[in-house]
């Protein structure tokens, strides 16, 4: 497959930067000069320069020209994000049904599974999420909430399509700034099997989420078990360099 003209131009400019013909701190030729040198259009020149700018090799400023900022090299990194919009969509399409609530103190085994401190106190809500038209629940969630917000249990029943984090923010003003998600394989446990309509010991997906405020303090921890073929996670990795 033929390489586009702008890509050829970008590669040649990168080679010139690498070779020192265009050293860091130097100004690149103007767009008009590049158009003449490469016998091409302004649009092609700009697309080529965008390739270099996206890699952090050049910077472009009005009335100052195009400056070489860095040498090619290094390894590109990829970042991912968990959108709150995705969580809101899940809450609105798979509404929760509360099964039980209790004040709990984490024993060593539970604390390890939740990646929390042993002996820490939480208010636990156990619930299932149901998708309209589906006979079996999507999954089982145990939500561990800062016991200061015990009232969330009642509010969650009144607002089954709203995130627990949103309820805490709306009612108490404590804002969740980040959600850390860990996904692992597990199997359906005996105490969940009948409620989920899945055989004990069959494969399942476990999704652990830590909801933190601006000070990185834990506000909510959720552990959700999804039986096989009921839930999938799609992640997009975006190039950052």
Q: What is the pLDDT of residues 71-94, one digit of tens each?
A: 876 555 555 555 555 554 555 567
Total structural domains within the chain: 2
Asked if residue 229 has pLDDT above 90, the reply is no
In a domain, 74, yes or no: no
Q: Tens digit of pLDDT for each residue in 93-107? A: 677 889 999 999 999
pLDDT at 239: 64
Rg of the chain over all Cα atoms, to the nearest angstrom: 26
Q: Residue 147's closest CA among 183, 122, 125, 127? A: 122
Find residue 166's DSSP bridge partners.
none
Asked if residue 16 has pLDDT above 70, the reply is yes
Asked if residue 223 has pLDDT above 90, the reply is yes
pLDDT at 187: 94
Domain boundary among 68, 97, 119: 68
Residue 181 domain boundaries: 84-238
Q: Kindly report the pTM of this predicted structure.
A: 0.64
Mean pLDDT of 52-68: 84
Q: Identify whether residues 119 and 176 lie together within a single domain.
A: yes
Q: Identify whether residues 64 and 89 lie together within a single domain.
A: no
In a domain, 77, yes or no: no
Distances (CA, A) of 57 to 32, 40, 82, 238: 20, 22, 29, 19
DSSP character at residue 147 = G
Find residue 206's DSSP bridge partners.
184, 225
């Amino acid at each position: 497959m033929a390489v586009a003209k702008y890509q050829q131009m970008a590669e040649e400019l990168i080679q010139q930067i690498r070779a020192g013909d265009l050293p860091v701190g130097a100004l690149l030729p103007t767009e008009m000069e590049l158009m003449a040198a490469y016998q091409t259009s302004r649009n092609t020149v700009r697309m080529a320069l965008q390739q270099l700018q996206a890699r952090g090799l050049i910077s472009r400023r009005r009335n100052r020209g195009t400056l070489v900022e860095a040498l090619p090299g290094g390894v590109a990194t990829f970042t991912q994000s968990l959108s709150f919009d995705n969580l809101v969509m899940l809450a609105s399409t798979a509404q929760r049904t509360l099964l039980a609530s209790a004040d709990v103190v984490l024993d060593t085994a539970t604390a390890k599974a939740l990646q929390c401190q042993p002996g820490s106190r939480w208010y636990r809500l156990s619930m299932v999420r149901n998708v309209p038209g589906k006979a079996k629940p999507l999954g089982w969630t145990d939500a561990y909430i800062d016991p200061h917000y015990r009232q969330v249990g009642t509010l969650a029943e009144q607002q089954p399509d709203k995130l627990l984090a949103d309820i805490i923010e709306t009612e108490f003003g404590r804002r969740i700034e980040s959600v850390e998600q860990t996904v692992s394989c597990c199997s359906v446990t005996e105490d969940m099997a009948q409620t989920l309509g899945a055989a004990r010991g069959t494969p399942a997906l476990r999704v652990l989420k830590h909801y933190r405020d601006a000070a990185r303090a834990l506000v909510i921890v959720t552990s959700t078990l999804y039986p096989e073929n009921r839930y999938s996670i799609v992640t997009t990795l975006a190039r950052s360099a």
